[in-house]
Amino acid sequence: MNKRNLEAKRIVIKIGTSSLLYQNTSQLNLRAIERLAFVLSDLKNQGKEVVLVSSGAIGVGMGKLGLTKRPETIPAQQAMASVGQGELLGIYEREFQNYGKSVAQMLLTRDVLVYPQSKKNVFNAFQELLKLNVIPIVNENDTVSVDELDHKTKFGDNDQLSAVVADLIDADLLIMLSDIDGFYSSNPLTDPNAELYHTVTSIDSTIIQSAGGRGTKFGTGGMVTKLKAAKRILSNNQKMVLANGENPRIIYNILAGEPVGTLFAPEQTVTKEGLV
């Protein structure tokens, strides 16, 4: 299989809750965060612009308060997010400081990306932070927004938020790190014949419906939300790679063009650049 042409200067990296927490203890996977900080700091040293979209606030809050079951009510989920967000950012700050890098928290809600003026303000903030060589760390503001939580008017989640951010800042590539190696023809945990798709150029309702349900007890995502994010990326003629984030060093492999994970790219781009 040929190498992919994934030259990218401005990169959005999304890491899921399942990659940040130990599922058996509900506690933070400090080694994963340390590795992530190392890789992203190294990318900054290479001259790349990096934005991190990080899930995990509710999961971290649960772990800090000793809960093993995700709360069912909206206020309880908001409380978990409030407890966990500060804890999570503090750890990120300490890890990135080890490599001389500054981070900035950006908590977004749906409305700021809907109204033109506030959307422009968010864009300007991203631009200024990147100009200052700062790594923005983005999350949904779960404490005041119920759109991402278990709500009938659910806007999305951090999978889709990462695609929105990639569109907003005109990123060259979105790298989505999860607990699965990529997009399969069926659930690889239950179907030994499941096949990994190396490249996807279009997403229809049939593919989304076959993707299964939600993710872990700590997060809001699942394969469906990742495909919806990929659909947004494709509609904007951008590229996205879905890969296993157990070891964040896989980002090096992705940027080197190695055929790991699943590449979502417009068909004309695949044909023209020979991405696979």
Residue positions in the annotated binding site for ATP? 14, 178-179, 220-226
- Extract the annotated binding site for substrate: 55, 142, 158
Helices (H), ranges, the chain:
17-20, 30-45, 57-64, 74-97, 110-114, 116-131, 158-168, 205-209, 223-235, 250-255, 267-273
Helix (H) or strand (E) holding 138, with range, is: strand 135-140
Q: Which residues pair with 275 in a beta bridge?
A: none
**Which residues share a beta bridge with 140?**
108
- Residues in binding site: 14, 55, 142, 158, 178-179, 220-226
Rounded to whole angstroms, what are the CA distances from 9 to 3, 34, 203, 265, 272? 18, 23, 26, 17, 20
φ/ψ region of 56 (left if φ > 0, alpha if ψ in -120 to 50, else beta) reads left
- Strand (E) or helix (H) holding 262: strand 262-264
CB atoms within 10 A of CB 189: 10
Amino acid in the structure at residue 45: N
Q: How far apart are CA 61 and CA 68, in angstroms?
A: 10
User: Shortest CA distance to 15 belongs to which of 52, 66, 65, 61?
Assistant: 52
Contact present, 262 and 199 (Cβ < 8 Å): yes
